[in-house]
Amino acid sequence: MEQSRHRPESFAALYDRYFGDIYRYVAARVGPQAADDLASETFLVAFRKREDFDPDRGAVRQWLYGIATNLLAHHRRSETRRLEALARVPMEDPAESEHADRVAAQVTAAGAQHRLAAELSRLPDGERDVLLLAAYGDLSYEEIAQALDVPLGTVASRLHRVRKRLRAALDDITAESGGSDG
């Protein structure tokens, strides 16, 4: 990063190193069509703000995830609409399937998908960001705290609340489908 302040062409090494990670995170959040633009915009913002980067506040990777998350905030309404739409997608008619076990598995999986999508769409923005940075970005608690510029304790409490909420949703689905083996 320091080199790119004096030699802008050296920023390409950061792009080459981190673009795939940022792209995967953004694509998981908004889909592949918007991911190209948002991932590229992340690096454009980073390039323009490279003078503001402070290595004492964290690593470049977390800084880039923070920029990407801020850009995603502009797309939050469409993300919420997408999750709500997924929750409303009708399940496949089990009568069309040939095998009873396969039907039961499909119905349970579809129910879980719908319920989880609905739960994700109802999460507060900060909780959704923390969850998806952990799940899609594979960031540690410390890295998430740096990316979002929040205290480590905030990350831990948000993840705890989200996991508890999603676990309860999955338990409800399991109970509705007749229990589980474990």
Tell me the pLDDT of the chain (182 aa) as tens digits. Answer: 878 888 888 899 999 999 999 999 999 988 888 899 999 999 999 999 998 888 888 899 999 999 999 998 877 766 677 777 777 776 555 454 455 555 555 555 555 666 777 778 788 888 888 998 998 888 999 999 999 999 999 999 999 998 888 888 777 666 665 554 44
Q: What is the DSSP letter of 31?
A: -
Is 45 within 8 Å of 66 (Cβ atoms)? no
Q: What is the pLDDT of residue 100?
A: 53
What stretch of H or E contains 114? helix 100-122
Q: What is the pLDDT of residue 176?
A: 61
Q: What is the pLDDT of residue 179?
A: 54
Q: What is the pLDDT of residue 112?
A: 61
Residues 6+ apart with CB under 8 A from 66: 146, 147, 148, 149
Structure tokens at 95: 């009568």
Percent of the chain with pLDDT over 90: 36
Q: What is the pLDDT of residue 158?
A: 93
State how far the Cα of 3 lies from the Cα of 35, in Å rounded to an integer.
28
Give the HSE-up count for residue 95: Cα atoms under 13 Å, Cβ half-sphere. Answer: 0
Q: What is the pLDDT of residue 94?
A: 47
Q: What is the pLDDT of residue 142?
A: 92
Q: What is the pLDDT of residue 20?
A: 95
